[in-house]
A and B are shown apart, each in its own frame.
Chain A
Amino acid sequence: MMTPESAQDHTATVSRVMNVPARILFLAHSQPEHLKRWYGPRSYPVTFCEVDFRVGGKWRMAMTGPEGLQGPFFGGTYHEIVPDARIVYDNGFEEPHGGALNLKNAGRMMITATFAETAGATTMTVTTRFSTAAMKAEYLAVGMMEGLAEGLDQLSDVAAELARRG
């Protein structure tokens, strides 16, 4: 069940267990040549990437979609770096509303990535805290997706089915 207006309301968490050491996942976060290969969604690879990987350092990226045009710049600052364990950084578009994307809910988010290794497998957990009230809607959708809101997973499946029929 979701309670209105608690700190948790603005966060969303996703995680996956991977059969790789924590230090390698940390490494994949720390260098542009690696980040470029995983940070963009599959159809929007990162085509510009500069990172100053240290606390207080800036990072900056842009992605290119199937139509071949590079999208708006986004990025932020590294707030916390604990080798092989934890990275905290903020992320947002440089231009208001994401430039040409003209997003209504563009705001800044704070992202915490943690790597917990046990017996060679690492759980990577990513918690995103949305900064503005407008972005809360985004959290809500994520909450549903993660099953935090009971019944919504099922609803989502039904929605897909109904949309196909309708």
Chain B
Amino acid sequence: MEPAIDQILAAVANPTRRAILDRLIAGEATVGDLAAPFALSQPTISAHLKILEAAGLVTRGQRANQRPVRLQPAALGELERWIGQYRRLWNDRFDQIEDIARELERKDQHDDS
């Protein structure tokens, strides 16, 4: 089952988790790799990873000891689609009100003359 968008949004609502996702764009990484740039312990990073994993944003490999972390495109795609909806709504509204305002302005000037 696809993770709920709420869960995805909550997962990316944290700056450390976003930084982890940013890092993973470059390719898979171990917990040690991910912890290195942060002043955080590996257990803290692991806790963040659990949240990202539950949201379906990352998966962990099965390789012993390492369990490399990878981005999951499907959940990111869902996030992108969701964000796009709100952006499109306001783009549409601004486009439309601008068109109508131009038309009303022309009418207004016409009435005045």
A binding-site residues for B, Cβ under 8 Å: 1-2, 14, 16, 18-21, 24-25, 27-28, 34, 37-42, 104-105, 124, 126, 134, 137-138, 140-142, 144-145, 149-152, 154-156, 158-160, 162-163, 165-166
Asked if A159 contacts B77 (CB within 8 A), the reply is: yes
Residues on A with beta carbons closer than 8 Å to the beta carbon of B73: 159, 162-163, 165-166
Question: A20-B105, A156-B83 known; A28 and B88 CB under 8 Å?
Answer: no
Q: Secondary structure at chain B's binding surface: helix, strand, loop or mixed?
A: helix
Asked if A140 contacts B9 (CB within 8 A), the reply is: yes
Q: How many Å lie between the Cα of A158 and that of B72 in the bound state?
A: 11
Asked if B94 contacts A141 (CB within 8 A), the reply is: no
Asked if A41 contacts B88 (CB within 8 A), the reply is: yes
Chain A nearest CB: distance from B69 CB in Å?
Answer: 15
Q: How many Å lie between the Cα of A150 and that of B21 in the bound state?
A: 12
Q: How many Å lie between the Cα of A19 and that of B102 in the bound state?
A: 8
Asked if A20 contacts B89 (CB within 8 A), the reply is: no
Count of A-B contacts judged by CB separation below 8 Å: 123
Which of these binds chain A: B12-20, B27-35, B38-46, B60-68? B12-20
B binding-site residues for A, Cβ under 8 Å: 4-6, 9-10, 12-15, 18-19, 21-22, 25, 71, 73-74, 76-77, 79-83, 86-90, 92-102, 104-105, 108
Closest chain B residue, CB of each to CB of A27? B104
Asked if A2 contacts B15 (CB within 8 A), the reply is: yes
Asked if B80 contacts A160 (CB within 8 A), the reply is: yes
Chain A nearest CB: distance from B27 CB in Å?
Answer: 12
Q: How many Å lie between the Cα of A147 and that of B92 in the bound state?
A: 19
Question: A141-B86, A160-B80, A163-B77 known; A41 and B92 CB under 8 Å?
Answer: yes
Asked if B77 contacts A28 (CB within 8 A), the reply is: no
Asked if B104 contacts A24 (CB within 8 A), the reply is: yes
Extra pairs beyond A42-B88, A140-B9, A162-B77 (13, CB < 8 Å) = A2-B14, A14-B90, A18-B98, A18-B101, A24-B108, A28-B101, A42-B92, A140-B10, A141-B82, A149-B15, A152-B12, A163-B73, A163-B77
